[in-house]
Amino acid sequence: MILLRNLKIHQKLIIIFTVFGGIMTITSTFITFINELSLEEKNLVRNAELQAKLISEYCALPLDFNYPDEALEILQKLKNIKNVSSALLLNASDSVFARYDRDTESEHLSLYISMNEGHYLHDNHLHVLQPIYLEGNQIGKLYMMVDTKMNELIKERLYTALLLFFVLFIFTILLAWLVQIVIAQPIINLTSITQIISKKNDYKTDISRLGEDEISKLYNSFNQMMKTIHNRDEKLQETIKALSASELRFRSLVSNQTGVVYRANVDQHWTMSYISPQIEDLSGYKAEHFINNNKLSYKDIIFKEDIEEVLKDVKDRFKLEYRIVTANSALKWVHEQGQIINDEESGLSWIDGVIIDITDRKLQEQELLEKNEELERFTYTVSHDLKSPLVTIKAFTGYLPSDIKKGDEVRINKDLHFIQNAAEKMSQLLDELLELSRIGRKVNPPKTMNFEILVNEVLQLVAGRIEKAKINIKLNIAPVNITGDIPRLTEVLQNLIDNAAKFTSDSENPTIEIGTLIEQGNTIFYVKDNGIGIDPRYMHKLFGLFEKLDAHSDGTGIGLALVKRIVELHNGKVWAESEGLGKGTTFKFKIGNTFTPKNTAALYQ
């Protein structure tokens, strides 16, 4: 069987059928052959004995009466019986009485005379000896030799057997072929189909077969199996697709989010076992630098002042806000959210967390805080600075009747002066508040204008005050342009010149210089006076809303706040320089080049 293992199924079938069929055919042919041969022999013997008996009956009388011629005549009747080749009639004394030979006399006949009654087969010849009786006495013997022609017979039978063998053998092969077609071929086909399917991975092919036999069942089960595989395959493909899509999503989530994802050891250094590459955007240090504290530990970049607080708060689930120092020494605010994970199976602990840059948010919070403070100051002022003149007016209109009654002229004048001042202050305050509230709400499209032309226009607006206070105006303007909301920029200059005029009026030879200069590559516009100057202690209050540095000045504390707001809307900056009291003041401002009406509107919505 081992020899058959590697043969194809139809080869196996043919070999098995041929071998077993052959053995069976040969055996059956051989048995038939032997059987037929012995049957033939029996027939031959019986016929010969019968003939011998018959002839000996006929020859009894001629023998008894000693008529040899008549005996010969009887013997010669054997001519009709083809097989008999010789016959010998012997008398009681065993001498030859009559003799018949078909062809030539055979010498060896006498050899058999001495044999006993019966038959004897030898050398293709049957020898029969028949005693002759008359009235109970043996009077002689008949010897007969029959040519059996056994060789021919055997040959003849052998041919038949061979013919039979071949016919059977062909039938066997035909049978094998038929079996092969009916049983093996579908299996072979199935094999080749499965091979093709397994090569192409195409489980969609329908190979179902009609029928109730095992092969059909095999085909149908196989078909069912393929369908199942195909369905599973499709599901698998779908799952793989979904999985890879979700992986892609996850990847893009991790790589596109602004946050840094990390896994760290639970130690005092945040020893990172993984940190996503975004850390480079955040800190300026590469992710590899943090892994296993290769070049630095994460703790190293936490702002020193915040470390204590941070270390205290890292437990279980935590949310932190602290500052880090980036590679180029900038401070950034980050929000960190993490969890300490204790894996019971492995006994390991680690921190999984996310770090997000919240610098912008913090700045916005700061800005919001400032805006809130400003708003608070605003409402405060509405209740305080608007109430103040009201208190004054009410009080002095209250004093007025009794002062008139007393005829106290000094007091009457004082009362009226206070009332008038308070009323003026109130109207000024209301005007300026209105002006302030307009900034940012109403934005003019940006225009570019020659700065000197703008200055001259503004000087015409403030000409009255300048002339009255006898202030000298000096211009030191380079041919530069200014771009922005021109009406607002006009207000800036007007306020700065007004302010300068206000505080130079008491100076000797009051002078205001308006000009431009270049500082660190930027064009700076300035308004310089030789007035009372500013005490450096109060410099920070200069631009605050409703802040006044001089209780006796007639300002409302809005003018410079207005200047600051307009300049900032132009992405610019305004500041004051003064060497101290009595040494004059220079107000300087620059305008950013990204001013667009859109972004200013957005700021104030």
Partner 1 sequence: MPLRRIMRLNENISILLVEDNPAHAEIVLRSFETYDMNENIFHVSDGQEALDYLYREGNFAGGNAKRIPDLIILDLRLPKVDGIEVLKKIKSDIKFKTIPVIILTTSESDKDIAKAYTNHVNSYLVKPIDLEKFGELIESFGYYWFSWNKFPVN
The residue among 124 and 372 lying less far from partner 1, judged by its C-beta, is 372
Nearest-angstrom CA–CA distance, 206 and 196: 13
How near is the Cβ of 486 to partner 1 at its closest, in Å? 33
The residue among 239 and 402 lying less far from partner 1, judged by its C-beta, is 402
The tokens of 561 are what? Answer: 């706040």
Beta-carbon contacts of residue 390 (< 8 Å; ≥ 6 apart): 422, 426
- Return the range that interacts with partner 1 (CB under 8 A); candidates 190-198, 299-307, 344-352, 539-547: 539-547
Nearest-angstrom CA–CA distance, 309 and 530: 51
- Residue 37: in which H helix or E strand, if any? helix 9-64
479: left (phi over 0), alpha (psi -120 to 50) or beta: beta
By the rule CB under 8 A, 424 interacts with partner 1: no
Measured in whole angstroms, how far is the alpha carbon of residue 350 from the centre of its chain?
A: 28
How near is the Cβ of 575 to partner 1 at its closest, in Å? 19
- Return the range that interacts with partner 1 (CB under 8 A); candidates 193-201, 418-426, 452-460, 521-529: 418-426
By the rule CB under 8 A, 401 interacts with partner 1: no
The pairing of beta strand 125-134 with beta strand 472-476: unpaired
By the rule CB under 8 A, 399 interacts with partner 1: yes
By the rule CB under 8 A, 418 interacts with partner 1: yes
- Return the range that interacts with partner 1 (CB under 8 A); candidates 394-402, 471-479, 489-497, 564-572: 394-402
Q: Which residues of 198-227 are buried (b: 16+ CB within 10 A; e: fewer)?
A: eeeeebeeeeebeeeeebeeebeebbeebe
By the rule CB under 8 A, 250 interacts with partner 1: no
DSSP 572: -
- CA distances in angstroms from 419 to 132, 374, 400, 416, listed in the order given: 196, 29, 10, 5
By the rule CB under 8 A, 503 interacts with partner 1: no
Nearest-angstrom CA–CA distance, 118 and 580: 174
Residue from 122, 204, 394, 447 touching partner 1 (CB under 8 A): that is 394
The tokens of 216 are what? Answer: 């059909």
The number of CA neighbours under 13 Å toward the Cβ of 86 is: 19
Instruction: Dihedral sign for Cα 386, 389, 392, 394, please.
Output: negative
By the rule CB under 8 A, 548 interacts with partner 1: yes
By the rule CB under 8 A, 392 interacts with partner 1: yes
Nearest-angstrom CA–CA distance, 424 and 74: 190
By the rule CB under 8 A, 428 interacts with partner 1: no
The number of CA neighbours under 13 Å toward the Cβ of 72 is: 10
The residue among 389 and 584 lying less far from partner 1, judged by its C-beta, is 389
The residue among 293 and 421 lying less far from partner 1, judged by its C-beta, is 421
The residue among 418 and 587 lying less far from partner 1, judged by its C-beta, is 418
The residue among 379 and 605 lying less far from partner 1, judged by its C-beta, is 379
The residue among 544 and 597 lying less far from partner 1, judged by its C-beta, is 544
56: left (phi over 0), alpha (psi -120 to 50) or beta: alpha
Do the beta carbons of residue 88 and residue 112 sit within 8 Å? no
By the rule CB under 8 A, 396 interacts with partner 1: yes
How near is the Cβ of 363 to partner 1 at its closest, in Å? 25
What is the footprint of partner 1 within residues 370-389 (CB under 8 A)?
376, 380, 383-385, 387-389
Residues that contact partner 1, how many (by CB under 8 A): 32
Beta-carbon contacts of residue 399 (< 8 Å; ≥ 6 apart): 411, 415
Q: How far apart are the first and last CA of the chain?
A: 94
By the rule CB under 8 A, 395 interacts with partner 1: yes
Residue from 134, 174, 248, 390 touching partner 1 (CB under 8 A): that is 390
Residue from 422, 426, 500, 566 touching partner 1 (CB under 8 A): that is 422
By the rule CB under 8 A, 335 interacts with partner 1: no
By the rule CB under 8 A, 410 interacts with partner 1: no
- Name 569's bridge partners: none
- In this structure, the dihedral spanned by the alpha carbons of residues 486, 490, 492 and 493, taken in order and rounded to 10 degrees, is 130
By the rule CB under 8 A, 257 interacts with partner 1: no
By the rule CB under 8 A, 535 interacts with partner 1: yes
Residue from 1, 210, 410, 551 touching partner 1 (CB under 8 A): that is 551
How near is the Cβ of 284 to partner 1 at its closest, in Å? 41
How near is the Cβ of 372 to partner 1 at its closest, in Å? 12
* Binding site residues, partner 1, CB under 8 A: 376, 380, 383-385, 387-392, 394-399, 414, 418, 421-422, 535, 537-538, 541, 546-552
